[in-house]
Structure 1
């Protein structure tokens, strides 16, 4: 995913960044060398949270990818690619493919989902 760095803070030995993309604005923990304010770079997003269907992830009636920060949570709308019986939900968020571990998913999940996560990790790909 291509992002522009809007803000950089070092909080308790973690680099926190606010960023914008073509699908919205987000914030997360940066894993790599300290980015520069205004930098444009490609990243991989890791949404590492405990997802439980019906609580912090649901079916969406929206059909466009988006990200936002709401009430200090990373909110996203993404397209479902596949779901495996082991709880792995594969989604497409913008141009990124992301794997989520989700409990209690309905057996026939398809279309679009909305989720809320406490935190995300960003990994620069140096592409």
Structure 2
């Protein structure tokens, strides 16, 4: 609804990453083996564990206790962590009611 979030408030959200990830361009293996998200130089960087890869290029990732879906090409290694990045305009957060 385009309202800014209220500081120090918890929200249940759906994360939508609208980008295509190409191996060695904007997605690589990550040796840290830890889920993370951070903003640097106007890019949002994610690290997550690959739990499955579908034939249509959709990768299912474990991001902490949550699941994230991305579209990617290239090597897909189950149970490995990947690091990928995109720009903030490709990321949408939607509040959800549980």
State the TM-score, normalized to the length of structure 2: 0.85
Aligned pair partner of 1:85 in 48, 55, 62: 55
Q: Shift in Å at residue 47 of structure 1?
A: 1.2
Say whether the 8 Å CA contact 1:90–1:98 is kept in structure 2. Answer: yes
> Runs of at least 4 residues of structure 1 off by over 3 A?
none
More strand by share: 1
Aligned to 1:126: 97
Q: Which structure carries more relative contact order (alpha carbon 8 Å, separation 6+)?
A: 2
CA RMSD of aligned residues (A): 1.5
Whether 2:89 is the aligned partner of 1:113: answer no
Give the length in aligned residue pairs.
Answer: 94
Aligned to 1:95: 65
Q: 2:38 and 2:71 mapped to 1: Cα distance? A: 21
Q: Shift in Å at residue 95 of structure 1?
A: 2.1
Q: Shift in Å at residue 113 of structure 1?
A: 0.3
Q: Shift in Å at residue 42 of structure 1?
A: 1.2
State the TM-score, normalized to the length of structure 1: 0.68
The aligned runs of 1:2-21 (5 Å cut-off) are none
Q: Shift in Å at residue 92 of structure 1?
A: 1.0
Say whether the 8 Å CA contact 1:44–1:96 is kept in structure 2. Answer: no
Q: Shift in Å at residue 117 of structure 1?
A: 1.1
Larger CA Rg, structure 1 vs 2: 1
Gaps of at least 5 residues in structure 1 are 1-31
